[in-house]
A and B are shown apart, each in its own frame.
Chain A
Amino acid sequence: MGLLSKKDAKLITDPLADNNPITIQVLGICSALAITAELKASIVMSIAVLFVLGVGNVVISLMRNIIPSKIRIIVQLIVVATLVIIVDLILKAFAYELSKTLSVFVGLIITNCIIMGRFEAFALANGPWRSFLDGIGNSLGYAVILIIVGFFRELLGSGSLLGIKVLGDPIEKTGVYAFGYENNGFMLLAPMALITVGIIIWVQRSRNEALIEDN
């Protein structure tokens, strides 16, 4: 990476694995899990968060010296709410069906803890460029988990990826269905998202012993 110094590159790579916002920092689970039954919805949600966090971090970082610390939470909420309205209106204009699937969860990006957490922890203390990188890094870390969960839930739950039937047709019994394979409809139900994330955490912590918590 010629453009970025080593320290800046770390801002992007760290949240992807060892400091992942979802599995390690426990932020932003709120709106993440409910929409991961389909891969497409997970990807759109990730892009929305990428935009809001990237831009929001820069805005807050530029204003950090003029925000009185007593009312900073309200200022932050207004900045996020404005950005989320932009995302919501764009989705309604260009992907109406998808915005119906995501329903209130687009609005809930406002209270997504990743965003408030990064504003508080990073953007209020750092310059715009570094804040931007931090925002991108953290939303990519969020995206990775969302896409993994969405991938497995859609593949095992409805046998398709992005709406394409990769495992064959369940009604005409082609592909793997010819051998008696059945879709596990249970994966589409809400609780399986939690269990899938639990398993991701398990795998990640078995690979990196330093992350193991006390009971």
Chain B
Amino acid sequence: MEHLELFFKSIFIDNMVFATFLGMCSYLAVSKKVSTAVGLGAAVIFVMAITVPLNWLLDTYILKDGALAWLGPEYAQYDLSFLSFIMFIATIATMVQLVEIIVEKFSPALYNSLGIFLPLIAVNCAILGGSLFMQSREIQSLGLAFNYGVSSGIGWFLAIIAIAAIREKIRYSNVPAPLRGLGITFIITGLMAIGFMSFGGMLTGGEDEETTEQTAIVAPAENDAVEATEDAINLAENEKEIKE
């Protein structure tokens, strides 16, 4: 149950892109085509599934206040948590390189589809963000940490595929010139984020008063977002028909 809750929570409610804006740089840069977006998204899931549990181990057995107690009682007083940034990023950077080398050796086919994205991932904020959130939300066990890594990765994957699909369609619509490209992508992402906020009440079942209120405010806006994207898609389809 705990696992299921964390799983859905990290995909929909705390979605990396829509709730915390992590990994926006590659999200905007690599979302022009669905096929490349799938490649990058898969690589993110993969790397997060490895680095989050690994950093959890680091955090629990080396960095936390009193974590060194397993070495002997005299080490129990050390608190190395100020080193966590540097340790986490070093783990991520080396893991990414290691994964790249291993994948290249054992699965050239996978390397060809994921390979070019792996170096990009070392500096993707979503990866480091996943580890930092894992630390600040005090995730309890290794299993949950793995779950958190995979599900946040899936959330990011969903987001980049959705935006890539919309951007492929929107190419056929008549966007005002200054908004073309980056501008409209930002605004669509904003609307999608509003849509994702409606998942906020999912886990509380509407019992929590505050959340219900929030969803009530958000609900009409969410319809707008859906309508707006639907409009965009309809428009694109109409224009396609006209062309044909």
Query: Size class of B's contact patch?
Result: 35 or more
- Give the residue of B170, B183, B194 whose beta carbon is less than 8 angstroms from that of A198: B183
Chain B residues touching A, majority SS? helix
Asked if A57 is at the interface (CB within 8 A of a chain B CB), the reply is no
Asked if A194 is at the interface (CB within 8 A of a chain B CB), the reply is yes
When the two chains form their complex, are residues A198 and B190 in contact, meaning their CB atoms are under 8 A apart? yes
Nearest CB of A to B191, in Å: 7
Asked if B99 is at the interface (CB within 8 A of a chain A CB), the reply is no
Can you name 23 A-B residue pairings with CB atoms under 8 Å? A29-B25, A32-B21, A33-B24, A73-B93, A73-B119, A74-B90, A74-B93, A74-B94, A81-B85, A81-B86, A88-B85, A107-B132, A108-B22, A108-B129, A110-B89, A189-B197, A191-B190, A191-B191, A194-B189, A197-B186, A198-B186, A202-B183, A205-B179
Given contacts A111-B123, A198-B184, contact A215 B190 (CB under 8 A): no
Asked if A128 is at the interface (CB within 8 A of a chain B CB), the reply is no
When the two chains form their complex, are residues B125 and A31 in contact, meaning their CB atoms are under 8 A apart? yes
When the two chains form their complex, are residues A215 and B181 in contact, meaning their CB atoms are under 8 A apart? yes
Beta-carbon nearest neighbor of B92 in chain A = A77
Beta-carbon nearest neighbor of B184 in chain A = A198
Beta-carbon nearest neighbor of B185 in chain A = A198
When the two chains form their complex, are residues B136 and A104 in contact, meaning their CB atoms are under 8 A apart? yes
Nearest CB of A to B229, in Å: 14
Beta-carbon nearest neighbor of B218 in chain A = A189
| Residues of A in contact, count (CB < 8 Å) | 52
A84 to B19, CA, bound (A): 23
Contacts of A195 in B (CB 8 A): 186-187, 190-191
Asked if B175 is at the interface (CB within 8 A of a chain A CB), the reply is yes
- Known: A78-B86, A186-B221; 9 extra A-B contacts, CB below 8 A, are A28-B25, A77-B90, A81-B86, A110-B85, A111-B129, A195-B186, A201-B186, A203-B178, A205-B183
Q: Which residue of B128, B136, B170 has the most chain A CB atoms within 10 A of its CB atom? A: B128
Chain A residues touching B, majority SS? helix
Task: Give chain A interface residues in 17-55, CB to chain B under 8 Å.
Answer: 23, 26-34
- Give the residue of B28, B89, B129 whose beta carbon is less than 8 angstroms from that of A81: B89
Contacts of A111 in B (CB 8 A): 89, 123-125, 127-129
Nearest CB of B to A54, in Å: 19
Asked if B29 is at the interface (CB within 8 A of a chain A CB), the reply is yes
Asked if A156 is at the interface (CB within 8 A of a chain B CB), the reply is no
A78 to B122, CA, bound (A): 12
Given contacts A85-B85, A212-B178, contact A26 B29 (CB under 8 A): yes
- Give the residue of B28, B84, B123, B197 whose beta carbon is less than 8 angstroms from that of A191: B197
* A187-213 interface bits toward B, Cβ cutoff 8 Å, 1 = contact, 0 = none: 001111111011101111110000011
Contacts of B18 in A (CB 8 A): 190-191
Nearest CB of B to A35, in Å: 9
Contacts of B180 in A (CB 8 A): 212-215
